Chains A and B, each alone.
Chain A
Amino acid sequence: MLIGNYKESYAADEALFRTPAVRAWMGVLAVALVVFPFLAGDYLLYLANLVGVLAIAALGLNILTGFTGQISLGHAAFMGVGAYTTAFLAARLGLPFWIAVPAGGAGACLAGMVVGVPSLRIKGLYLAIATLAAQVVAEWVFTNWTAVTGGIRGLNVPAARLLGFPFDTDRRIYFFIVGLAALHATFASNLFRTRIGRAFIAVRDRDLSAELMGVNLFRTKILSFMISSYYAGIAGGLWVYFTKVVTPENFPLSLSIQFLAMVIVGGLGSVKGTLYGAVFVTLVPEVLKAGTQSLRPLFPEAMSWLYPLRDILFGAMIVGFLVFEPHGLAEMWNRTKRFFALWPFEK
């Protein structure tokens, strides 16, 4: 039983993973992530990759919405900007992925900077509507700027290659996706231990007080938009190499809303919560589907209403979260841990 957590050096105080138990579990997780692709089949690998890509984008949204308090309904648009930048560079100019993916991040980052400008004047729901405009404009551009985006047919992208080695299967690209997801999650965790990250939180909690304390509101909000969109852009770039094709229909408003759902279900203002949220929102519908699928032998004629039941159930689960645990999966996990910290003794 853990009764205290004493630190004897600054290094220990600054460590990201503070207790031996946490370090051990992170080690287990790392090993599991490396072993997973060799054990999992096509289907699970595909889902894992999807979760990885969406998690990176959702991390970006949590930085903006969860940590800086700026609501965005245009996150899918930034992912689209990143995806198209990457796809254009890779398919039309033939640049390698290690240039195209960061360039996707940079492209989205610039778009985020522009879209973030109104955030100085408007907040809350008004800002949400302003970002919604970005979503609509981006979708229009994807569809109509045919010379660059390939119009409605989109762009086909060749597999990523490193030193002649192709990342053409789900198993190969998995390492690429999980590696970048881990990197970006670590970066996000560390961000909120820096002055900039603290400034984000200060702006979220009370922007006037933050300004009185010397936080430059405009700079901070724009920076948050930029970092957030950069994450989305990287996710978009990875997504392109993962699916090998990009069309305007891949980044609809519903995807933006799905990102918000991930962040809310996972826990606003929590990095690990975002990861839980991405897993939950992507996998639970699949699990529910498998459930309804298993009922098929019993009701062979009833599938046309059993399948929609899954969506209703999923919706009910999200409402349940908001009512019973507004702080999301991250907080549920923390409570579970606190319970077991003293178990089997009681408080």
Chain B
Amino acid sequence: MRTHRTTKLFAAALAAAALAPAALAEEEIRIGACQPITGRFAFAGVNINAGLQDYLSWANEQGLVKGKKLTYIYEDSGYDTDKAVATFKKIMAQYSPVIMYGESTGLGKAIAPELNSRYKVLYASASFSSELADPKTHPYSFVSGPTYSDMFGILLDYIARNPKGKGKPRVAFFYSDTEFGKDPIAHAKKRAAELGVEVVAEIVTKVGAVDVTTEVLTLKKAQPDFVIFQGYVLAPIPEVIRGARDHGLATTFMGTFWSVDKSIIDKLGQDAEGYMGVNPYAYYYEDAPGIVAMRKYNERVHPGEKYRPNSYIQGWFTGMVYVEAIRRVVAAGKPVTGDNLKDALGTIQDWDTGGVTGKVNFVNNKAGVGRVYRANVQKGVFEPASDWIYVK
């Protein structure tokens, strides 16, 4: 009799043990990330990781997803595609998250076949490559903001509306011979023609090339009103701007996401005067409610951090999209799976982000919104030069 009871108890305990993880798993939503915390993209990776992690903890604190806990699992992937794919598979095998974050365009492309056929998880990355926002080839991945092509579209839109003098605005594209540099150029040329903006020069260089004498002379000959940089983070942007100023060019220089961080003003010094660029997100020092909440969280949790760069806000915003998609799936009473999350993403229209960015509409797996900013050297900050500009 006694033995019988013990067996029963034992069986019950076993059953409880077997059920416990299942019950827990229901409560927990796992988000995995391959972050470039080392390697040549670490300058951004560390911040993207911090931003994403902070947003998810903030969302947990606020109880944004009722009855569920968001768990963030990240590993360093070193900005090396092979290592990143290994890391991706490792996290998938170990934790089977429903959402993943990836470090680069390269990882997005390499993982795509298996993401579409096997893993089927919602995927975002540090990349703004238009290739990853193609719902046909990359149905599970999205770009958390506008693509580089969209950013060019926003800048060209601004140029067309704010020309210098009479006649067609003259613009030059200055880009690196990398995937990052060339990605938006074809679209940009098409868009310029549509908007009546004349592309007077296209200059291609290596990344970080310091001798830009010939390139500056080309600019002098072409006399563009605007020059848009793409595919650089810093070098050779300061060299080109300084060279152009030495030759007395009155050209306005512009950059896309990676070259409009506040730090570029510090690096350029006086030469930053008049420098412009497109940023999909608001800056850390702006007073939009979403940004204020972010600052308050940082003051409380990381009192040492006085400033957060754009890449931090990129990570934070990606977290916002993840959570919004999860909330929509949960609200619809569906299980939180990659497929449902992917479908929920498409329903995000006119979404108010509290001013972290403009109104968000997910069309073609990206949110085509951004704002043009102008550097204010005295204050050392970028200030809005336009309202939020929307592109398709």
A interface, CB within 8 angstroms of B: 41-43, 46-47, 50, 143-144, 151-154, 156, 159, 168-170, 243-245, 247-250, 285-286, 289, 292-293, 303-304, 307-308, 310-311
Contact = CB atoms under 8 A, between A and B. Distances in A.
Contacts of B89: 42-43, 46, 170
Given A289-B76, A303-B37, A247 B106 contact: yes
A80 to B, nearest CB: 14
B290 to A, nearest CB: 25
A152 B179 contact: yes
16 contacts: A42-B92, A43-B86, A43-B90, A46-B86, A50-B86, A152-B179, A156-B109, A168-B117, A243-B110, A244-B110, A245-B112, A250-B81, A289-B76, A303-B76, A307-B38, A308-B38
B131 A289 contact: no
A152 B179 CA distance: 5
A47 B112 CA distance: 18
A307 B76 contact: yes
Contacts of A168: 113, 117
A303 B90 CA distance: 18
A250 B110 CA distance: 11
Given A46-B85, A286-B83, 20 more contacts: A43-B86, A46-B89, A47-B86, A50-B86, A143-B177, A143-B178, A156-B109, A168-B113, A169-B118, A243-B85, A245-B109, A245-B110, A247-B106, A248-B179, A249-B178, A249-B179, A285-B78, A307-B38, A307-B76, A310-B76
A304 B46 contact: yes
Interface in B157-183: 177-179, 182-183
Contacts of A43: 86, 89-90, 93-94
B198 interface: no
B232 to A, nearest CB: 15
Given A46-B85, A245-B110, A151 B182 contact: yes
A143 B83 CA distance: 22
B182 A247 contact: no
B82 interface: yes
Interface residues of B, number: 30
- Main secondary structure, interface of B, reads helix
Identify which of B75, B90, B92 gathers the most chain A CB atoms within 10 Å of its CB. B90
Interface string B40-59: 00100010000000000000
B371 to A, nearest CB: 28
A285 B87 CA distance: 12
Contacts of A41: 93
Interface string B122-136: 000000000100000
A244 B113 contact: yes
B131 A153 contact: yes
B93 A249 contact: no
Contacts of B131: 153
Contacts of A46: 85-86, 89
B183 A152 contact: yes
Leading 7 A-B pairs by shortest Cβ distance: A43-B90, A152-B179, A307-B76, A42-B89, A42-B93, A41-B93, A307-B37
Contacts of B110: 243-245
B158 to A, nearest CB: 26
Contact of B38 (A42, A170, A310): A310
Contacts of A304: 37, 46
Nearest to B179: A152
A169 B89 CA distance: 12
Contacts of B177: 143-144
A249 to B, nearest CB: 6
A269 to B, nearest CB: 27
B220 to A, nearest CB: 26
Q: Which of A144, A169, A249 counts the most chain B CB atoms within 10 A?
A: A249
Contacts of B93: 41-43
Nearest to A170: B89
B86 A286 contact: yes
Contacts of A169: 118
Contacts of A249: 81, 106, 178-179
Contact of B179 (A247, A285, A289): A247
Contacts of A308: 38, 42
Interface string B85-101: 11001101110000000
Contacts of B178: 143, 152, 249
Contacts of B90: 42-43
Contacts of A143: 177-178
A292 to B, nearest CB: 8
A247 B108 CA distance: 12
Contacts of A151: 182
A42 B94 CA distance: 10
A79 to B, nearest CB: 12
B79 to A, nearest CB: 10
Nearest to B86: A46
Contacts of B46: 304
Contacts of A289: 75-76
Nearest to B92: A42
B50 to A, nearest CB: 8
A247 B107 CA distance: 11
A207 to B, nearest CB: 36
B204 to A, nearest CB: 10
Contacts of B106: 247, 249-250
Q: Which of A169, A250, A307 has the most chain B CB atoms inside 10 A of its CB?
A: A307
A284 to B, nearest CB: 12
Nearest to B106: A249
Contacts of B109: 154, 156, 245, 247
A55 to B, nearest CB: 14
A292 B87 CA distance: 14
Nearest to A43: B90
Contacts of A144: 177
- Of the listed residues B92, B131, B177, B183, the one surrounded by the most CB atoms of chain A closer than 10 A to its CB is B177
Most chain-A CB neighbours within 10 Å: which of B46, B113, B131?
B113
Contacts of A292: 76
Contacts of B113: 159, 168, 244-245
